[in-house]
Structure formats: structure tokens, C-alpha cells
């Protein structure tokens, strides 16, 4: 592959020349100097989030580079969505093996820029270096101070909701690795959720100033909801039999695996959020335009911890739930 500066020129500076900073007066200076210079609006907060994707850990080294480019940006836009922030700018750190084919970079850029353009996000800089394949994206968004969504803020009585469907990405991973035989259409649909997640940007903007707390589901529903509960110093009752299941998940042969994926599987990038009862009507009105839908899956309670509730012989039974999810680092060293 060509030297780093050639790659930068060919793929990143050229991108800026193509798209310019048109329509974004806040970019005083973009790619090409030592720093980008930005002028954020005086009345908004800058929301900043960074995600690292490492080949072999977060994506398969031989995965389609278009999908990798898409996902590298999507997971960051998902964090902005969970903060209720409007995506604005991104920086991109790329570590590329010297042996890598340049067509990989071209594919990566196709996936990355297609999603960036859809959300009006500008690439304003980054760094490119040689090494094991890894990608860092830092996203910058804007949000009105009193509208920013946090993990804290959920109160007893608030309803717990999730957008779209959960568990699909984890089933997609199973389908690739060692899953049971499923119809091609089912496998493709689940893989699509794993490799091309849709960040719920519009939903996050609608929830800004409305939800009492929010998080994006990256590590698994119970674990991520657990972060809301801890930050808000509350507990919750969850109804596992009401979790939103996609048509593809419903076609999966083992529905126990589906339930486990819905509760503990990561990588769905849906939004889990809480809304006070007094604001349910407002949610209903705003969410009417969401193509992905949303589902009430539980209720916040004062008592800490997560409890499941299911129907047995016609009566509701309560039980303690594990808050497990996807562990990014599996270590044998218990001290680490």
C-alpha cells in the first residue's frame, strides 16, 4: 500500500475537496492543517464520544470493508443519539497493516461516507498510521444544555422503552459462527443487523428533552439498562415476554436462544430510554414518525436491582434477573 500521506490525500483530503464544508459555517478549517478549527454555536453543548474498533475483537478481519466503514461511524452516531445530540463532525484514526490492499480503504470509505452524508456529518481530521488493523472514530454532536440525555434521571414510575427490535445482532453473530441451519433470508437479515446497524439518530433527537434517561444498547439490554439503573439510583421490573422480536428472530429455530440474545446480546444499537407517565402522550406523538417503532418493556421502581416478571398459571411471578451482557475483554486474571 502507498505511504500514509498518499492515502490521506487520496481518500480523506480528496473527500473534503469533493464535499467541502458547504453548509457548515462552523468549520473554520477542516482537513489538512495541524488542527481543525470549529466554531460551535454559543447556545449548545458539544457532545463528544469515541469508539475503538479492533479487527478480530469488534469485527472480523476479513469482513466486508464497506460494512466496517459503516459500523465504525454508526456506533459513534449511536452514542450521540443516546445523548440526544445532533451529529456534526467526526475525526477518524486508522491503523492499517502495510500488507492491506488499498481497495480495503476504498471500501471502508464508501461505507463510512455514505452514512456520514445521510446524517450530514463532516469528517474534519484524523490520523493514519501503520500497524494492526484498528479504527478509532470520535464523534462530535450538538445539543441544547437542558435537552441532553443522560443515564441518570430515571425515576420510580417512569416507563422503560426500547426502539426497534433487540437480539438480532447477537443472533447474526451466532448464524455466522456456529448457528443452526436457518433460511438464507433469515440469516441475511440478522447479519445485516450485526454488520450494518442503524443508529437511531432521529429517535434520539425526538427524545431529547423528553426522556428522563437514555442509553444505546451496545453491550446487551439488561446490562445497558443496568447502567441507567445504577446512574439513576433506582431499580426496574422488566417483562421479558414483551421484548420486541424481529421477524427474523421469530423464525430462529431455538426461541430460548432468542430470549437470551434479546436480554444479553450486544451490538443492536437500539435506544433504551425511560419516560415519565406525564409525558407518554408526547412520546406517542413524536414516535408516530419512527419507522423502527418502540416497545414498553418495563417500569422503573425505587428498589434497586433488576427484576423479571412473567405469567405462570395465569398469575404474575417476579424473579431476580442477571444483568449480563457482552464482555469485550475475556481475561483469566481476576485482578484485571
Adjacent-strand bridge partners of 134 = 54, 95
5-64 positions binding ligand ADP, by CB under 6 A: 8, 12, 31-34
Q: Which three cell numbers stand for residue 112?
A: 463510512
222 burial class (0-12, 13-18, 19+ CB within 10 angstroms)? Answer: buried
Smallest separation, CB 15 to ligand ADP (Å): 8
State phi, psi for 221 to the nearest 5 degrees. Answer: -60, -50
Based on CB atoms, which residue is closest to ligand ADP, 126 or 172? 126
* Site of interaction with Mg ion (CB under 5 A): 127
Helix (H) or strand (E) holding 122: strand 122-130
180 binds, among ligand ADP, Mg ion, none (CB under 5 to 8 A by kind): none
Based on CB atoms, which residue is closest to ligand ADP, 125 or 179? 125
Smallest separation, CB 194 to Mg ion (Å): 32
Q: Work out whether strand 315-320 and strand 27-29 pair parallel, antiparallel, or are unpaired.
A: unpaired
Q: Kindly report each contact of residues 114-120 with a partner whose C-beta sits within 8 Å and lies 24 or more positions away, as own/partner.
A: 114/70, 115/69, 115/70, 115/73, 115/74, 115/77, 116/73, 116/90, 117/19, 119/77, 119/87, 119/199, 119/201, 120/23, 120/87
The answer to the question of residue 128 lying near ligand ADP (CB under 6 A) is yes
Which of 127, 303, 322, 327 binds ligand ADP (CB under 6 A)? It is 127
Smallest separation, CB 33 to ligand ADP (Å): 5
Which of 84, 126, 167, 226 binds ligand ADP (CB under 6 A)? It is 126
Total interface residues for ligand ADP by CB under 6 A: 13
3-state class of 159 per DSSP? strand
Smallest separation, CB 18 to Mg ion (Å): 22
Based on CB atoms, which residue is closest to ligand ADP, 119 or 193? 119
Q: Which three cell numbers stand for residue 63?
A: 469482513
The answer to the question of residue 92 lying near ligand ADP (CB under 6 A) is yes
Q: What does the binding site for ligand ADP look like in residue numbers (CB under 6 A)? A: 8, 12, 31-34, 92, 94, 123, 125-128
Amino acid at each position: 500500500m502507498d505511504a500514509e500521506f498518499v492515502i490521506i490525500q487520496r481518500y480523506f483530503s480528496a473527500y473534503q475537496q469533493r464535499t467541502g464544508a458547504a453548509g457548515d459555517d462552523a468549520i473554520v478549517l477542516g482537513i489538512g492543517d495541524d488542527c481543525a478549527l470549529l466554531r460551535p454555536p454559543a447556545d449548545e453543548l458539544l457532545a463528544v464520544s469515541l469508539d475503538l474498533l479492533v479487527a478480530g475483537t469488534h469485527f472480523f478481519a476479513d469482513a466486508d470493508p464497506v460494512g466496517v466503514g459503516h459500523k465504525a461511524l454508526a456506533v459513534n452516531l449511536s452514542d450521540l443519539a443516546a445523548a440526544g445530540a445532533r451529529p456534526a463532525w467526526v475525526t477518524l484514526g486508522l491503523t492499517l497493516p502495510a500488507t492491506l490492499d488499498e481497495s480495503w480503504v476504498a471500501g471502508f470509505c464508501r461505507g463510512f461516507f455514505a452514512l456520514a452524508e445521510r446524517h450530514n456529518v463532516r469528517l474534519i481530521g484524523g490520523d493514519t498510521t501503520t500497524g494492526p488493523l484498528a479504527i478509532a472514530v470520535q464523534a462530535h454532536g450538538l445539543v441544547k444544555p437542558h435537552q441532553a440525555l443522560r443515564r441518570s434521571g430515571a425515576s420510580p414510575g417512569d416507563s422503560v422503552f426500547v426502539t426497534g427490535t433487540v437480539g438480532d445482532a447477537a443472533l447474526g453473530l451466532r448464524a455466522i459462527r456456529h448457528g443452526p441451519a436457518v433460511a438464507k433470508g433469515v440469516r441475511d437479515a440478522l447479519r445485516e443487523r450485526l454488520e450494518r446497524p442503524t443508529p437511531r439518530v432521529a429517535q434520539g433527537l425526538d427524545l431529547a428533552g423528553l426522556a428522563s434517561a437514555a442509553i444505546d444498547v451496545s453491550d446487551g439490554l439488561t446490562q445497558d439498562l443496568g447502567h441507567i439503573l445504577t446512574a439513576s439510583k433506582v431499580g426496574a421490573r422488566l417483562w421479558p415476554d414483551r421484548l420486541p422480536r424481529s421477524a427474523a428472530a421469530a423464525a430462529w429455530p431455538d426461541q430460548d436462544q432468542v430470549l437470551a440474545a434479546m436480554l444479553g446480546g450486544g451490538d443492536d444499537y437500539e435506544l433504551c430510554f425511560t419516560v415519565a407517565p406525564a409525558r407518554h402522550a408526547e412520546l406517542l406523538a413524536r414516535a408516530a414518525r419512527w419507522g423502527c417503532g418502540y416497545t414498553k418493556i418495563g417500569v422503573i421502581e425505587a428498589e434497586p436491582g433488576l427484576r423479571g416478571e412473567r405469567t405462570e398459571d395465569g398469575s404474575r411471578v417476579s424473579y431476580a434477573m442477571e444483568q449480563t451482557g457482552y464482555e469485550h475483554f475475556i481475561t483469566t486474571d481476576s485482578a484485571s
